[in-house]
Amino acid sequence: MRLVIQRVLSASISIDGGPKESMGEGLVVFFASSLDDGLPSDEAINKLASKTAKMRIFNDGDGKMNLSAEQLGFGIMAVPNFTLFAETARGNRPSFSGSGERQHALDAFERYCEELERYPLARFIKGKFGSDMKVELINNGPVTIIVDTKDW
């Protein structure tokens, strides 16, 4: 599984042309599952959610990245994004053959979101798997962190 975590001042999402859901300061997390992930274990899902909520990438009083979204009670928006596993080595058209099998990827995303919702956040917004989503965000920093379970 792969996460692209972005620290934001604000973010919003519209799903399939519906109304916008918005949040203030926090994290926007793009989530993808690879073909190699299969059906991820509860342990892997829990570790990803914990790493997301507890990642210390917000500045403390001394200007050091030492605080987490959980500590500050900020929001998190989770957005499924299979394109994070695009293969671009050959040609100019990306291949998505390395992206996870649809049902496994959907299950992994849903379980990840359920686990994130357990944390004390100001707001939790969940994108919709397989939908057309319009995501707007204002990066803060910018700070962008990539987490990949293959590195564990």
pLDDT tens across 18-77, in order?
A: 999 999 999 999 999 998 887 889 999 999 999 999 999 999 999 999 999 999 999 999
Provide the pLDDT for residue 9.
99
Of 24-28, 80-84, 98-102, 127-131, where does mean pLDDT reach its minimum? 98-102
Q: What gap in Å lies between CA 115 and CA 99, rounded to an integer?
A: 22
pLDDT > 70 in the chain, percent: 100
Strands 65-67 and 75-80 turn out to be: unpaired
In the chain, beta strands by DSSP E: 2-15, 21-23, 26-32, 58-59, 65-67, 75-80, 124-126, 133-148
Q: Which CATH superfamily is domain 2-143 in?
A: D-tyrosyl-tRNA(Tyr) deacylase (3.50.80.10)
Q: Would the pLDDT of 100 be above 90?
A: no
The residue ranges of every structural domain in the chain are: 2-143
Q: With a threshold of 0.85, does the pTM exceed it?
A: yes
The pLDDT mean for the chain works out to 96
Helix 42-54 × helix 102-116 angle, to 10°: 50
